[in-house]
Amino acid sequence: MTFNRVKTFYPTAYAFASQFFEGVSKAMPLNQKDVLLDVGCGTGTLTALLSKRVGRVTAFDISPEMIKQAEEISTAENITYSLGDATKLSTNEEYRNSFDKVLSYYVLHWIKDFKIVLEGIHQSLKPGGQCFVNTTHSDPNVIDSIKALNGYTSPKWETFMKGYEHLYYPFQGSVDEFEQMLAGIGFKDIDCTRDIPKYFLKKDEGKAFLPNFMGQLERFPEDRREEYIKDALTFVFDTAEEEYCFTFPVITAIARK
């Protein structure tokens, strides 16, 4: 995600978090005694909702901008925010065997070798503790609009886009292979599923939402970025429809230590 554009992500992020919070809490039941770790909390929209169902939440993200926005969204006394790298979770002795529940919500696909994150989650759980993790799954139609945006170019923009690789890594294997990876790490009672949820946004909401995922913007001079965004969004939203549907093939796993 393009962190310096995160404020435009607020309304949509909250709508998504609210929409799917009940699904998370149903799959991984929460109670007021739980100590929960939120891995890659982002803007903290889901963190704020979780804090109302558990005793304490520790939430971290690699981006200072994200943590700042999370602190603005909720100042609940039972939330502790910090900077942290999910790939270093397994080396954090303070977190080892410390959490009843761990959440990693739409985080893993931003990390190339995310198995190390799953290993860190396992180490951070108390014996018998439970985690909820999900990641987008490789599919010909996965996040079509975001892929289109990040692949968009024209002679006008070729100089800036040359050699660009979008940092996005959906899981390439099957559901069984994902479950086998979790079992190999040491998880048990694994419930692993694949779904293709649909997210509906008004066209204006989509135009505010999608630029957050345009990592290529960092390649453009500040005075050319808005022009590029306008061209790219015209490319994606060249339709008479007023509502836009995003599809995210997702693998979700609930597992215990």
pLDDT at 3: 46
Which of 10-24, 181-195, 222-236 shows the highest mean pLDDT? 181-195
**230 found inside a domain:** no
The tokens of 26 are what?
């149903």
**pLDDT tops 60 at residue 1:** no
The widest CA-to-CA distance across the chain, in whole angstroms, is 58
Among 39-43, 73-77, 209-213, 225-229, name the one with the lowest average pLDDT.
Answer: 209-213
pLDDT for the residue numbered 78: 98
Does residue 254 register a pLDDT over 50? yes
Is 124 inside a domain boundary? yes
Give a yes or no: residue 46 inside a domain: yes
Mean pLDDT of 133-151: 69
Distance CA 1, CA 213 (A): 5
Q: Please give the distance of CA 99 from its chain centroid, rounded to a whole number.
A: 20
Backbone angles phi, psi at 22, to 5 degrees: -65, -35
pLDDT at 142: 46
Query: Model confidence at 11, in pLDDT bands (50, 70, 90)?
Result: low
pLDDT of residue 149: 67
Helix and strand totals (H; E) in the chain = 9, 9
Alpha carbon distance 241, 228 (integer Å): 22
* CATH number reported for the structural domain that contains residue 105 in this entry: 3.40.50.150
Sign of CA dihedral 190, 109, 198, 147: negative
155: pLDDT strictly greater than 80? yes
Least-confidence region, from 127-136, 142-151, 154-163: 142-151
Q: Do 98 and 126 touch, CB atoms closer than 8 A? A: yes
| Residue at 144 is within a domain | no
Q: Per mean pLDDT, which range of 107-116, 150-159, 209-218 is the poorest?
A: 209-218
Question: Is residue 224 in a domain?
Answer: no
Residue 252 within a domain: yes
Instruction: Domain count for the chain, please give it.
Output: 1
Residue 12 lies in a domain: yes
Q: What is the 3-state secondary structure (H, E, C) of 29-48?
A: CCCCCCEEEEECCCCCHHHH
Q: How far is CA 16 from the centre of its chain?
A: 11
> Among 141, 136, 150, 142, which residue's Cα sits nearest to residue 233?
150
Q: Say what the pTM is.
A: 0.84
| CA distances (Å), origin 10, targets 27, 120, 205, 247 | 25, 28, 11, 20
- In this prediction, residue 205 carries a pLDDT of 73
Query: What does pLDDT average to over the chain?
Result: 85
Averaged over 4-14, what is the pLDDT?
52
List the domain range (segments joined by +) for residue 120: 3-139+168-201+247-256
163, burial (CB in 10 Å: exposed 0-12, middle 13-18, buried 19+): exposed
User: Of residues 223 and 244, which shows the higher confidence score?
Assistant: 223
pLDDT tens digits, one per residue of 88-102: 999 999 999 999 999
Is residue 9 over pLDDT 60?
Answer: no
